[in-house]
Copies of this chain bind each other. A is one copy, B any other.
C-alpha cells in the first residue's frame, strides 16, 4: 500500500506485536504458567522484547472480540495482569463461524429471543461474519503469521460468477467474463473513435501519445487491429467447446444497450477494483474464528472469563471499576486500565456508565450502527462446481434484496460433494429488510432469488431448509449492529468519532474495536484500535487530542459502493 519508506513507521508496532504474539515458546510458557508472564518476553528471539512496563498493573478487557484479544495478548506480554470479560461462551465477536451444533440467537424488537441451531454435516462450516483478509491488511496478516494460523486464498471473483437482473437478457444470468470483457470492448471502441477528434483531454495529447493511447485501447478492449472495432472476443468465453477440429470461437458479444439496461455496475460488479477486495485475499483454514480461538489459547489460562456480561463501568480516579455478572452473581473489581471492546451500540443500552463526560455519553449514544444479514446454506451437491457452471469460489451478483451469493473458497472438489454457500449477504436498507423477516421467510426469499442463478437452488433435497442459517447482526445480542456507520457527509460524526477514540478518565479507559478505527467492519480496524490504545498506555503516547480531519466512510469501506 504505502511505499517502502513508510513501512518503518509501523515497525515499532510490529515489534511489539511480535513480542506479544509470536515466539511460541514464550506464549506457551506464559500459557502454561511455566514462567511468569513478566519473564517471558526475554526468551523471544524474534523481535526486541517489549518494555516490561506493566509491572503487574491490571487491565480489564471488556469483550473477547479481535481488538480485545489482540490487546489482551499485548498487555500480557508487556507484564500487565489482564482479565478479559466476555459476555458469551465463545471468543471472536463478529468473526463468527457456524459449525454443526452451534446456536445462533437474535433478540427481536418485541423482546423475543429466536434461535437456530446449525445442522451442517460434520466438517462443514460457514463464516457468518467477517469473511476475508486482504493482503494489505498487514496487521491481521502479521497476527496470523505469528500465531501460525493457516491461511488459504479467498477467491473474490471468478469470471464464471454470474450476474442476474430482470432488466436485461430476459432475466437470464450472464457470466462475469461476458459482462466485464464486452463492456471493456465497447468502452474502448467508443474512446478509440473519440481519439482522432478534438475531445477535451485527448486534445492535450501529442500525436505520438494519441497513437499510444490507441494501442492501449486495442489491447485493453480487444479491438480489431485495423478498424479499432469491438466485434467480440474469446475473453468473454466460447461459443462451442473446442475440439481438435473446432478452434476457439468467441461467444457473441453482449450489446452495449443491454449492458446499459442491466445496470450491472450498480450491483457490486466492480467491487474487486476497490482496495479491500483486491486479489490476493485470504481466509483462515477451518473458519474465520480460528485466529481468535488461537489468540485466546495463547493467553494465560483463566484470562478469558466467559458468560460474564459487563453491566457497569465507573471511572474511579486512577482506576476503573467494572461490574459484571458471572455464575449468577454480581461481581465488581477495580482495574488500573479498562479497554472496552463492547460495541458502543451495546454499551449505551446495557452498561451503566458512571463518571464519564457528557460528551462521551453523547458519543456512545449517538454512534449509528449499520444493519447486515447473511444467509447460509449447506448444499448436498457442489452443483456450482459442475461442468454446467464451472464456478470455483467468488461471488455472484443479483439485482435483488439478497445482493450476492458466495461460493466456498475451500474444499474444492470435495469427495463428499457437499459444501456451504453464503446465500445472501447484504447491509444497510437491504440488510434491514431481510433482517425484519423471520428466519424461514429469509430462507424463502434467498432461495427464490438464488433460483434465478441456479435452478438447483429450488430443490430442498440439494439445499435443505433445515440446513439453512440466517443472521441479522443488528439483532444479535452483545453486537446490535454490523459496524459503526461513520459517514463523512454527516458533520456531527467527526465530533462523536473524535470523542470516542481518545481515552476517558485519567487516560485509563479506552473504547477499542473496529468501531473506533479507520476500517469499520474489518479485523484490521480492530487491530489498529488495539495498537492505538497499547501505544497510548505502554509507550506513553500522548497525542494532542485533535479532532480527526475526516471520519472513515463506513459504507464505502464495507460494501465497496462509492
Asked, given contacts A4-B388, A241-B6, whether A187 binds B279 with beta carbons under 8 Å apart, the answer is no
Q: Inside 8 A of A551's CB, which chain B residues have their CB?
A: 247
Contact of A387 among B14, B158, B200, B274 (CB under 8 A): B14
Chain B residues with CB under 8 A of A215: 265-266
Q: Which residue in chain B gives the minimum CB-CB distance to A276?
A: B234
CA A244 to CA B517, docked complex, whole Å: 4
CA distance in complex: A391, B135 (Å) = 8
Q: A547-559 vs B: 1/0 string, CB under 8 Å?
A: 0111111000100
Q: Inside 8 A of A199's CB, which chain B residues have their CB?
A: 190, 193-194, 197, 199
A residues 1-23 with Cβ under 8 Å of B? 1-2, 4, 6-7, 9-10, 14
Is A332 at the interface (CB under 8 A from chain B)? no
Q: B394 contacts A242, CB within 8 Å? A: no
Please measure, in the bound complex, the distance between the C-alpha atom of A163 and the C-alpha atom of B339, giving whole angstroms: 44
Residue among B209, B248, B532 making CB contact with A518, cutoff 8 Å: B248
- A548 / chain B contacts, CB cutoff of 8 Å: 245, 247
Q: 8 Å CB contacts to B: which residues of A192-211? A: 193-194, 197, 199-202, 205, 209
Q: Which residues of B contact A342 (CB under 8 A)?
A: none
User: Using Cβ atoms and an 8 Å threshold, which residues of chain B touch A260?
Assistant: 205, 209, 212-213, 216
CA distance A202 to B215 in the complex (A): 21
Contact, CB under 8 Å: B193 / A190? no
- Checking B6, B160, B212, B519 against A263 with a beta-carbon cut-off of 8 angstroms, the contacting residue is B212
Query: Given the interface contacts A155-B280, A257-B209, A532-B244, does A275 sit within 8 Å of B1 by beta carbon?
Result: no
Residue contact A201 to B222, C-beta cutoff 8 Å? no
* Cα distance, A155 to B392, chains bound together (Å): 13
Closest B residue to A201 by beta carbon equals B190
Interface string of A492-529 (1 = CB under 8 A from B): 00000000010000000000000011110000000011
Chain A interface: which size bin?
A: 35 or more
A188: chain B residues at CB < 8 Å are 187
Asked whether B7 lies within 8 Å of A387 as measured between CB atoms, the reply is yes
Let me know if A219 is at the binding interface, CB within 8 A: yes
Find A275's partner among B183, B184, B238, B274 (CB 8 Å cutoff): B238
Whether A416 sits at the interface, judged by CB under 8 Å, is no
Q: Are A275 and B235 in contact (CB under 8 A)?
A: yes
Q: Which of A152, A194, A213 lies at the interface centre, i.e. has the most chain B CB atoms within 10 A of its CB?
A: A194
C-beta contact mask, A121-137 vs B, less than 8 Å → 1, else 0?
00000000000000110
A445 at the interface (CB under 8 A from B): no
At the interface, yes or no: A240 with Cβ under 8 Å from chain B?
Answer: yes
Contacts of A201 in B (CB 8 A): 189-190, 193
Closest 5 CB pairs of A and B: A242-B518, A194-B194, A280-B392, A159-B278, A219-B265
**Sample (15) of A-B pairs whose CB atoms are under 8 Å apart:** A1-B390, A7-B388, A136-B390, A144-B413, A160-B278, A187-B217, A193-B200, A212-B260, A234-B274, A235-B275, A243-B528, A247-B548, A247-B550, A280-B394, A282-B392
